[in-house]
Amino acid sequence: MSLRIIFMGTPEFSVPTLRLLVDAGHRVVAVYSQPPRPGGRRGLDLQKSPVHQAAELLGIPVFTPVNFKDPEERNKFRDLDADVAVVVAYGLLLPEEILSGTREGCYNGHASLLPRWRGAAPIQRAIMAGDEKTGMMVMKMDKGLDTGPVALTREVAIEANMTAGELHDRLMFVGAKAIAEAMVKLEMGDLPLTPQPADGVLYAAKIDKAETRIDFSRPARDVHNHIRGLAPFPGAWFEAEIGGKPERIKVLASEMGDGTGAAGTVMGEDLTVACGGGAVKLTRLQKAGGKPLSAADFLRGTPLPVGTRLG
């Protein structure tokens, strides 16, 4: 026995789930992904999404509609005659005709402990808020934004210095296993659904570039969470005067530091920086156009002596 599945996803985060569903013996009859986007060195070449590329390697037909407003696209989806659609970071809102376009509906793998962190950036927002745990939830989709009933939950601890990139990679595989397990239960008719609680709803807004600058006047814990929540992309940053001109520097990792001082002042040769309360140690940095470097390697090429003001 196996399910006829339509898989809908776009980034690398979605790829392990697609592969695991195929390895489990399900028939993935089609993959939907975001259309190819300009990329490459000059941004002139159209590049297929990671899911698109993975599907082609697996020999699965790929569809890349801009949206589902066209009745022909909705009919094409229905005509695939699938048992269920599995959605992981697809990137398009699905209309009612798609949500009900398979026998069992659409099931979504979402990277938070719903109803906390519904929306676009749950991994980053959980870390930036200082959450100590998150997880992957498999839910049956409805017309709301991540509001559907939950079928399965897997919790994951957020370690003290874990970055968004590290958490992303852990959840990527936890989520793949959770969805594969949910599909086994669905096939057996044993996948109970639990409505989400009305309390505790938070929305994970998309990260805005305007919020990526580090504000050292905030408490050290907040600064640390801000840095790791935005690492490696888009990256939290500060400006420092280097060679007589201001230069933007990304911080890709940090730790809590010791000491107090004027906010934004370098306090130690290990790049401990004073905050509004306490201090953070900057441990991995990157100049524009440069490679990510450990603090020690960075300082060999770009000295930031004690007393330097960062902002």
Q: What is the DSSP letter of 118?
A: E
| 282 labeled part of a ligand binding site | no
Other Cβ atoms closer than 10 A to 307: 10
Structure-block tokens of residue 68: 């589902």
CA distance 178 to 230: 26
Q: What is the DSSP letter of 194?
A: B
The answer to whether 13 and 172 have CB atoms below 8 angstroms apart is yes
Inter-CA distances, 110 with 22, 247, 261, Å? 20, 37, 41
> Which helix (H) or strand (E) covers residue 63, if one does?
strand 62-63
| Pairing relationship of beta strands 272-274 and 4-9 according to DSSP bridges | unpaired
**Listed residue (287, 296, 170, 160) closest to 228, CA to CA:** 160
| 217 labeled part of a ligand binding site | no
Quote the distance between the C-alpha of residue 186 and its chain's center. Answer: 26
Inter-CA distances, 55 with 19, 30, 59, 93, 258, Å? 9, 9, 6, 21, 49
| 113 labeled part of a ligand binding site | yes
| 122 labeled part of a ligand binding site | no
Q: Residues 6 or more apart from 80 whose CB is under 8 A from it?
A: 4, 6, 29, 30
CA distance 206 to 298: 30
What are the strands, taking DSSP E only, across 111-265? Answer: 118-119, 133-140, 150-157, 203-204, 236-242, 245-257
The CA-CA-CA angle for residues 187, 59, 51, to 5°, reads 75
CA distance 124 to 70: 34
Binding residues are 112-115
Binding residues for (6S)-5,6,7,8-tetrahydrofolate are 112-115
